[in-house]
Amino acid sequence: MKAAMVFLASATLVCAAPLARASDYPSKPITLMIGFAPGGPSDVMARILTKKMEEILKQPLVIENRAGAGGSIAGAAVARAAPDGYTVLLATGSLLAINVSLYKNIGYDPEKDFEPISMIGTQTNVLYAHPSVPATSLAELIAYAKANPGKLSFGSGGNGTPAHLAGELLKLQAKIDITHVPFRGTGPALQAVIGSHVPMAFNPPSPLIPHIQSGTIRALAITTLKRTAALPDVPTIAESGFPGFEATTWHALVAPAGTPKDVIATLHRATAATVNDPSVRKALTDLGVDVVGGTPEELRAYVKSEIPKWAEVVRASGAKVD
C-alpha cells in the first residue's frame, strides 16, 4: 500500500511538471520574427507591439528580421522552430494566405504548421508615383499606361505581397501592360520611387505620408474599399472606376504548430491587452492600421477563407514566382 502511494505521488508529480513549467511561461526572452526588412511597416508595427507586450509578459521580445520571398523565409524558420512559445511570427496575409499559391515551395503549410494567436489589424496599400510621371489621378495613369504599353513598371515590398498582387489585379482589371519590380521591403521600394529608379509603387501608407506631404511622391489611389483616415483625400481604386477592388495587407501573430494551448492563451491575452491599450491603438492608427484583434479560432477561420480568395487572384493574374 505504501509503495502504491509512493508510485501515485511520483506519477502526480510527473504529470504536474509540464503544467508547472507552462505556468512559468515566459521565463526567458521571446524572439519575434518578421519577414521583411527593417524600416518597413511590419518592422515598425513589431516595435510598437513589443514595447507593450514586454511590460505585460515581463520578458524582452527580440525582433529578428528575415526578409525575402514575400515573408516565406521567416515563415519557414518559425514553422521549424521549437513549439515552446519562445519563437513567434508577426505574419502578413502574403505569408499566411498568398505565397502558397504564388511559389512552388514555400517550406511550410500555412494551415497546418502554425498555431494562431491573434489578428492584429488590416492596412491599405497606396498607389503612388514619382512627380515626373504625367498623371495626377488613377484615370490619367491608366490612360498614360495604355498609350505607352510596357513603358511603366511598379515596385512593391516583395513578390507575393498584397501590394504586388494589388498591382497585378489593377493590371488585369484596367487591361494595362505594366511590369512588377520586387524589392526587399517597403523602405527600398519607396527609395526607388523617390530616386526615380521605378516610376511608381504600391506600399502601405505610414512611411509614405511625409513624402506625400512634401511632394516628393504623388499618391494616386488606395486599395481598400473605403478611404483611410491616414490619407482622407486620396480616393480608392474602387471609387475610381473599379467597383469592389480590394487588396489589403493584414497582420497576425502565430506560433509553431504544437505550441501548448496554455502558452497560446498567455500570448493571446498579452496581445489582446496590447492592441486594446489606447497608446498602442493610436500608434497603430497613425501607422495606417485598422485594429481588429480577435481569438485564435477566428484567425484560423480567416486564414482558411483567405487562401482560396488569393489563389483565384494569383491564377487570374498569372503571377508566379519560382
SS3 27: coil
Q: CB within 8 A of 5, min separation 6: which ones?
A: none
pLDDT mean across residues, the chain: 90
Cβ atoms within 10 Å of 13's Cβ, excluding its own? 10
Burial tier of 292 (Cβ tally within 10 Å: 0-12, 13-18, 19+): middle
Assigned CATH topology for domain 2-123+249-317: D-Maltodextrin-Binding Protein; domain 2 (3.40.190)
Who wins on pLDDT, 237 or 316? 237
The lowest-confidence range among 17-21, 180-184, 222-226 is 17-21
Q: How confident is the model at residue 12 (pLDDT cuts 50, 70, 90)?
A: very low
Q: How confident is the model at residue 91 (pLDDT cuts 50, 70, 90)?
A: very high
CATH number of 126-240: 3.40.190.10
Given a cut of 70, whether residue 285 has pLDDT beyond it is yes
**pLDDT digits over 123-145, tens only?**
899 999 999 999 999 999 999 99
pLDDT more than 70, % of the chain = 93
Given a cut of 70, whether residue 112 has pLDDT beyond it is yes
Task: Indicate the pairing of strand 289-291 with strand 114-123.
Answer: antiparallel
Q: How confident is the model at residue 21 (pLDDT cuts 50, 70, 90)?
A: low
Cβ–Cβ < 8 Å for 82, 28: no
- Provide the residue ranges of all domains of the chain, joining segments of one domain with +: 2-123+249-317, 126-240
Who wins on pLDDT, 88 or 225? 88
Burial tier of 295 (Cβ tally within 10 Å: 0-12, 13-18, 19+): middle
Q: How confident is the model at residue 4 (pLDDT cuts 50, 70, 90)?
A: very low
Task: Report how far apart the first and last C-alpha atoms of the chain are (Å, whole number).
Answer: 67
126-240 has the same fold as 2-123+249-317: yes
Average pLDDT of the residues in 174-179:
95
Separation between Cα atoms, residue 262 and residue 259, nearest integer Å: 9
As given in the structure block, the three cell numbers for residue 113 are 504548421
